[in-house]
A and B are shown apart, each in its own frame.
Chain A
């Protein structure tokens, strides 16, 4: 009699343990998903602050003679410069969009930022890129809505004038 009672009790305790354990697991899972979804918890890791050095070197080698080398101290420095460049331009573009009471920065804000910050020679080629990009994405959208020809013709006419 007592032995069965004991085993029952034991089983009950075991089940309770299991229940607690499962609850713990659910809790931790919740926390994980919270971290992923909550943008306020988003922290930039040190290695994410900079662009990969191999890509940077690859681009820098394009305009220079083949035997050109880049010293190690220059490499690290350039990485930092590029990140600073991006933040610098971005903050100027944000300021412009905010001054016009818009919440989202657009391509024209970026061009404006380049012009005001003394990068005049970037504005023209970037304008061409912006135009190309808008054309390309417009084509994509039109293909989706299945009346590509009509819309494409009319909108490109508007753009030309």
Chain B
């Protein structure tokens, strides 16, 4: 029944969602355990991405999140790194599309 992570902090994070009622000890324990499992999986799989340098970086995590559908909820937190040039191109595209949409209105 031992856990590595602090229960109080996990309870606080759970409570930060809307409409969270009471968090029972049962749920808290399960959440702590699953968080540990999540971390282990996450570490294991992203290290397989890293392979050679054996140093886990942001890019490895981003690749992992990109490839796994069940990690899609992390896409906003770890977006793929892009170059400034590409970003500017994206911005211009966005501007054009918004202009065209406003024209059509």
Least CB separation from A121: chain B residue: B41
Contact across chains for B42 and A78 when beta carbons are under 8 A apart: yes
Provided the pairs A60-B40, A62-B40, A86-B13 are in contact, do residues A71 and B58 lie with their beta carbons within 8 angstroms? yes
Q: What is the CB-to-nearest-CB distance from B77 to chain A, in angstroms, rounded to a whole number?
A: 5
Among candidates A67, A106, A111, residue contacting B54 with C-beta atoms closer than 8 Å: A67
Contact across chains for B39 and A59 when beta carbons are under 8 A apart: yes
Contact across chains for A49 and B13 when beta carbons are under 8 A apart: yes
> CA A126 – CA B19 in complex, angstroms?
24
Decide if the interface of chain B is mainly helix, strand, loop or mixed: helix
Q: Which residues of B contact A118 (CB under 8 A)?
A: 69-70
> CA A98 – CA B21 in complex, angstroms?
11
Q: Which residues of B contact A107 (CB under 8 A)?
A: 26-27, 30
Q: Which residues of B contact A67 (CB under 8 A)?
A: 54
Residues of chain B in range 38-64 having any CB-CB distance to chain A below 8 Å: 38-40, 42-44, 47, 50, 54-58, 60-61
Contact across chains for B17 and A87 when beta carbons are under 8 A apart: yes
Decide if the interface of chain A is mainly helix, strand, loop or mixed: helix
Contact across chains for A82 and B39 when beta carbons are under 8 A apart: yes
Contact across chains for B30 and A74 when beta carbons are under 8 A apart: no
- Asked whether any CB of chain B lies closer than 8 Å to the CB of A101, the reply is no
- Asked whether any CB of chain A lies closer than 8 Å to the CB of B14, the reply is yes
Taking beta carbons and an 8 Å cutoff, which residues of A are in contact with B? 42, 44, 48-52, 55-56, 58-65, 67-71, 73-74, 77-78, 80-91, 93-94, 98, 103-107, 109-111, 114, 117-119, 122, 125-126, 129-130, 132-134, 136-137
